[in-house]
Each structure stands twice: as C-alpha cells, then as structure tokens.
Amino acid sequence: MVASPQITEIRQLLADYSFDAGNEDVNLLVAEWLQQADSNLIHQAIIEALYQGRYKVVSVGQILNLWKRRGGPLRHYTREFESIILGPSNLPDFSESPDESVTPPLPPRSQPPQDLSEPDKTADTICPFVPESPESDQYHRLQAFARSMVNP
C-alpha cells in the first residue's frame, strides 16, 4: 500500500510525539480516519490528544468519534499550544470554525498606545515629595535608629 501525502504527514506527527500504536497498523488507522474526517480535523484531534496527555493512537480515534457524535470539534487547547506543536508556519486556518479558541478574544484597547517620543505630561501633575524639616521629632528618632544600626 502506497501512503498518500496526508497519511505520511499524519504518521509523522504521531511519530514526532511518540504516540503508542500498540499492535495497531498506523497506516490502516490513519486511512480509516481519513475516510471519516478531513486531515485538518485529524490534526486537531492529535493536538487535542497531546493537550490532554493521551499519547496513544487509539485516543486520537476516540476523540474523532466523540467529535463526530457532538457534531463538531471541541478543542480545549489554545492557538499558542497548537503553534508549539505544529510550528507557526504550519498552522492551518480554522477561521471559518466557530470554536476559534477556548479563550475569548481580548477586548479592544480603550486608549491607543502612548507615543514614547512625546514627553510624559503626567509628571507635572504629581506633587514632589518634600520631607519634613530636619528638626522634627520623627526625623531625630529615625536618625538615632539608623546610627544604632551602623554602630551597634
């Protein structure tokens, strides 16, 4: 049996992360998966198995079956985790998918970032610290304490 590029790519991902195949023929399993789902979904299931710490090939099949029963994938991993696994250049585009990520998108910033080339105008509004006069009782106590620490 000649392995298709999709089977080879999926097998490589399974091998890279040392998935345990047991007595199963990985080529046959991957071919079965490709009959049930597209390669992007299989990649997602492999990443989900890695995220859950399930390093057996049978776990990928279980995740695919669960997603099939649910009617779609439920990814628990983040895009950052996916980029670590696949590398940023190999990330598939799932922008049409409703589950972009488990984490919600960040809200837009309320203020634009400050231009650092302009001087900070808030420094003028802060009152500078002016210590009490050196003649205060508290000043003398602190000075005596400091001297006692230096010359015990």
What is the pLDDT at residue 100?
Answer: 46
The CA–CA distances, whole Å, from 83 to 35, 74, 75, 86 equal: 26, 18, 14, 5
Asked, for residue 18, whether it belongs to a domain, the answer is yes
Asked, for residue 105, whether it belongs to a domain, the answer is no
Asked, for residue 71, whether it belongs to a domain, the answer is yes
What is the pLDDT at residue 98?
Answer: 46
Asked, for residue 140, whether it belongs to a domain, the answer is no
Over the chain (152 residues), the average pLDDT of each successive run of 10 is: 70 88 87 88 92 91 92 89 76 50 53 58 66 72 82 68
Asked, for residue 21, whether it belongs to a domain, the answer is yes
Asked, for residue 131, whether it belongs to a domain, the answer is no
Asked, for residue 26, whether it belongs to a domain, the answer is yes
- For the chain, what is the domain count? 1
Give the residue numbers spanning the domain of 64: 5-90
Q: Residue 142 corresponds to which amino acid?
A: L
The C-alpha atoms of residue 82 and residue 106 are separated, in whole angstroms, by: 18
Q: Residue 73 corresponds to which amino acid?
A: P
What is the pLDDT at residue 120?
Answer: 59
Asked, for residue 113, whether it belongs to a domain, the answer is no
Q: Is this prediction's pTM over 0.85?
A: no
